[in-house]
Amino acid sequence: MSILVYIEHAEGAIKKTSLEAVSYASALAEKEGKEVVAVALGAIEENELAKAGTAGAQKVLHIADEKLNAGVIQAHASAVAQAYEKAGADTLVLAKSSLGDAVAARLSVKLKAGLASNVVALPDEDGGYKVKRSIYTGKAFTSTLITTPHKILAVKKNAVPLKEYGGAATVEALDVTLEEGDFAAKITSTDKATGEISLPEADIIVSGGRGMKGPENWNLIEDLAKAMGAATGCSKPVSDSGWRPHHEHVGQTGVKVAPSLYVAVGISGAIQHLAGVNASKNIVVINKDPEAPFFKAADYGIVGDAFEILPKLTEAIKAIK
């Protein structure tokens, strides 16, 4: 038996969240005495796929059909289901993401598999197959019992360490049969987020709120983010006002993030924003209002004027680097 990992990639590189999923699968495989096989769909170089071996995969199945490049969900689900059978797997591991969630739901039906999402730890297999999951936007945990022979585990970002084993995986081409119905949905256009680092993949995020007073001051946020190697985000009022594009909106109704470090500048900390960021490992709040609700959720706080603090902080980080 094997554990299959569904790999996502963008701009020719495997996503960090997928490598985390491979690391998780590797730890699970070691526990259960299985091998880890990954599957990647669409156009990506073989040498990049081989890097999955550094996270613990022994083999990568590459389904290179160019029709899969667009990311049509049903087609991806059909292709992964065939790879699952080819690999002789009984467990599918993938990163929790917008694409991963949709694919996992369809595969749960196709494979008749129990599905657990937001997984944060290896299963407890004493007296059943119990999976620890994050719930209520990271405010609590629950233990979910999966009773089906086949299982799907969607791993939460930054919940498990990304391990490097040092080896390269072998890459094997795999042909699958895709029906016309797999492409019944058509993607007519795609608007890609701009910026060097995408919010879902970012390990560090610097976000600004209305305390920045206007888009003309956003260079202070961008300068700090660049110095830290971070992505930039914003609160909902900022995106609603047109100061920043909507794909930078972080919160319950925007992008939910779980970076190692989240820096909130001039954001009061409304519950809707907190719901999208409270899975962050560390939160730093910069606000001139000492009563700002965000301070209650912060690991570290700075009370002061962002227009004075940010340039000094940026210069200090540059000096350290």
210 among annotated binding-site residues: yes
Buried-exposed string 171-188: b where 16+ CB fall within 10 A, e elsewhere: beebebebeeebbeeeee
127 among annotated binding-site residues: no
Edge-to-edge strand list for the sheet holding 114-119: 140-145, 130-135, 114-119, 151-155, 89-95, 2-7, 35-41, 59-63, 170-173
The rounded distance, in Å, linking the Cα atoms of 144 and 271 is 27
272 among annotated binding-site residues: yes
106 among annotated binding-site residues: no
268 among annotated binding-site residues: yes
275 among annotated binding-site residues: no
Q: Check if the beta carbon of residue 262 is closer than 8 Å to that of residue 280.
A: yes
Q: Check if the beta carbon of residue 295 is closer than 8 Å to that of residue 267.
A: no
Q: What is the DSSP letter of 229?
A: T
Q: Check if the beta carbon of residue 82 is closer than 8 Å to that of residue 176.
A: yes
Distance separating the N- and C-terminal Cα atoms of the chain: 47
Q: Check if the beta carbon of residue 231 is closer than 8 Å to that of residue 261.
A: no
271 among annotated binding-site residues: yes
Nearest CA to 262 among 318, 221, 207, 309? 207
Written as one string, the DSSP assignment of 95-145 is E-SHHHHHHHHHHHHHTT-EEEEEE-S--B-TTS-EEEEEETTTTEEEEEE
The residues, ordered by sequence, that sit 6+ positions from 209 with a Cβ below 8 Å of its Cβ are 234, 235, 237, 238, 264, 265, 266, 267, 268
Cα 153 → chain centroid: 14
76 among annotated binding-site residues: no
Binding residue numbers? 210, 266-273, 287
Binding residue numbers for FAD? 210, 266-273, 287
